[in-house]
Amino acid sequence: MKAIISKNEILPSHLDPEHFGSIFWHIREHPEEPQSKRVGEVLELLSSLRDDLSTRGKGQVIARLRHVLSNYRWGVHVSPTSEGFRAIYFPADRGSFDKWEYEAVRDLLDLVPYLGKPPRVRRCAECKAWFFAAKKNDQQYCDGVCRQHRYDSSPEMRESKKLYMRKYREDEKKRKASQDRAAKREAEQGRTRKSLC
């Protein structure tokens, strides 16, 4: 298996950012499902595990995370991979469990050692959708559309556009006036040629 290298950190190949995108998509598309709400709570807790929290704050987040995770029953087996051995978690309660929910929580827990500072699982600054910042540790937006929207709607950019459009309209008026003068001259020269003939 190959690894994803980003900003001097290596993510194991089983941590595919696109797979996390599908988890986030499911939560966004089905927000009212109880499974989405529970996985969303795990996401909120994982994203709030920051180094700048006080010891007490970290303890509170970890206690809440333990409480939420206590609802899941796991079996574990060890499997060899090209990157070494890896613990694989699977639902121990095979009767009444939601496969998507268990897989989503398992995959999110696999991310814990790679969360980074700040955590790489975060909400987009523009649309508030969840995303995994695989490429940049300081990434704030889920995609280029949100980044561009925020850039376009920033006060500095709006002022810049306003000044650009004001200058553009002035230049357009000058160009039109110049064309009108040239057309008028052309028309006058055409009349003088006719009168000379």
Percent of the chain with pLDDT over 90: 13
For residue 177, the model assigns a pLDDT of: 92
Residue 150: burial class (beta carbons within 10 Å; 0-12, 13-18, 19+):
middle
Distance CA 137, CA 146 (A): 17
Biggest CA-to-CA distance, the chain: 104
Average pLDDT across the chain, whole number: 80
Query: What is the average pLDDT across 28-35?
Result: 89
Contact between 24 and 121 under an 8 Å Cβ cutoff? The reply is: no
pLDDT at 21 over 90: no
Per residue in 132-167, pLDDT tens? 787 667 788 888 888 888 888 878 888 888 889 999
The b-or-e profile of 74-106 (16+ CB within 10 A means b, else e) is beeeeeeeeeeeeeebebeeeeeeeebbbbbbe
Instruction: Band the pLDDT of 175: cuts 50, 70, 90.
Output: very high
pLDDT at 174 (0 to 100): 92
Q: Where are the domains of the chain?
A: 4-141, 154-197
Tokens 């303890």, located at residue: 59
What pLDDT, in 10s, does the model give residues 48-97? Answer: 887 778 889 888 988 999 999 888 888 888 888 777 787 777 777 766 56
pLDDT at 152: 83
8: left (phi over 0), alpha (psi -120 to 50) or beta: left
- Strand-pairing partners, residue 78, are 87
To the nearest whole percent, how much of the chain has pLDDT over 70?
Answer: 82
**pLDDT band with cut points at 50, 70 and 90 for residue 171:** very high
- SS3 of residue 163 by DSSP: helix
**Which is higher by pLDDT, 8 or 77?**
77
Residue 47 has pLDDT above 70, yes or no: yes
Does the pLDDT at position 10 exceed 60? Answer: no
Upper half-sphere CA count for residue 131 (Cβ side, 13 Å): 20
Tell me the pTM: 0.61
